[in-house]
């Protein structure tokens, strides 16, 4: 995968899936649902995210409901990568399955809102261009990187 460069949108702990995609919008298409993503904590989310931006959060990102619409809506809104200190397990697996990279970074709290980041998925490095810092993370195994590159599990199955 190529390096990904984008602006960080920073959130705190315990951003659950009811915040990412509230239940009341679940009837909508992903395109429409994405317009309400993160509404509970940040009503401006959809309007400020640009294609290729990066969502940064702290602990327990994606807890709660198993709704896969949560990573789908973030991806639809333009988020290219999620960086968090830790994830809830169903969300983490859902994100990779639908082709949205989710990275674990213990220094995630050092990243500030609007920092410009450059992520090298293969090397396992994140360069914070705004702060001039470099962070290291354990790269995903090749098998998952290939799945992400294909666009997720289904896209990969279609190719094979």
Partner 1 sequence: MAMTLAEKILAAKAGKECVIPGEIVMVPVDCAMMTDILGPRIFAEQIEKLGKPIKNPAGAVVIADHYTPAATEHQSEIVKFSREWCLKHGVSFIELEGPCHQLLAEKGYSYPGSILVGTDSHSCTAGAFGCFATGIGSTEMLGVLVNGEIWFKVPESIRIEWKGSLAKGVYAKDIILQTIGEIGHAGATYCSMEFFGDTIESLSMDERMCIANMAVEAGAKVGLIAADQKTVDYLKYHDISQAENAPLYCADPDACYARRLVFDASDLVPVAACPHEVDNVKPVQDIAGLKVDQVYIGSCTGGRLNDLRIAAKMLQGKQVSKKIRLLVSPSSQRVWREALEEGLLKALSDAGSVVLAPTCGACLGLHSGTIGKGEVCVSTTNRNFIGRMGSKHGDVYLVSAATAAATALEGCITDPRAFL
Binding residues vs partner 1 (CB under 8 A): 14, 16, 18-19, 22-24, 26-27, 39-41, 59-60, 63-69, 86, 88-90, 93-94, 97-98, 152-154, 157-158
* Shortest separation between residue 84's beta carbon and partner 1, angstroms: 11
Report DSSP state, residue 137. -
Closest CA to 36 of 19, 50, 51: 19
**Residue whose token pair is 């990573």:** 71
Question: For partner 1, which is the closer residue by CB, 16 or 130?
Answer: 16
Nearer to partner 1, 70 or 121 (CB): 70
Report, in Å, the least distance between residue 46 CB and partner 1: 15
Q: Which of 69, 128 has the CB closer to partner 1? A: 69
Q: How far is the CB of 118 from partner 1 (least distance, A)?
A: 29
Least Å from the CB of residue 115 to partner 1: 25
Residue with smaller CB distance to partner 1, 41 or 112: 41
Q: Report the C-alpha gap between 143 and 160 in whole angstroms.
A: 13
Q: Are strands 101-104 and 116-120 parallel, antiparallel or unpaired?
A: unpaired
Query: Using H for helix, E for strand and C for coil, what is the string for 75-131?
Result: HHHCEEEEEECCECHHHHHHHHHCCCEEEECCCHHHCCCCCEEEEECCCCEEEECCC
Q: In the complex, what is the shortest distance from the CB of residue 109 to partner 1, in angstroms, rounded to a whole number?
A: 15
Nearer to partner 1, 66 or 134 (CB): 66
Q: Closest Cα partner for 121 from 54, 51, 49?
A: 54
């Amino acid at each position: 995968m190529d390096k990904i460069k984008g602006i960080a949108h920073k959130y705190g702990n315990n951003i659950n899936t009811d915040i990412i995609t509230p239940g009341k919008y679940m009837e909508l298409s992903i395109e429409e649902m994405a317009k309400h993503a993160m509404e509970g904590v940040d009503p401006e989310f959809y309007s400020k995210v640009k294609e290729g931006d990066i969502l940064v959060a702290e602990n327990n990102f994606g807890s709660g409901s198993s709704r896969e619409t949560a990573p789908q809506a973030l991806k639809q809104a333009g988020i290219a990568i999620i960086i968090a200190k830790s994830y809830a397990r169903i969300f983490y697996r859902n994100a990779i399955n639908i082709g949205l990279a989710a990275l674990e970074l213990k220094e995630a709290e050092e990243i500030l809102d609007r920092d410009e980041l450059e992520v090298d998925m293969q090397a396992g490095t994140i360069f914070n261009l705004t702060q001039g810092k470099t962070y290291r993370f354990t790269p995903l195994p090749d098998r998952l990187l290939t799945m992400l590159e294909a666009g997720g599990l289904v896209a990969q199955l279609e190719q094979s």
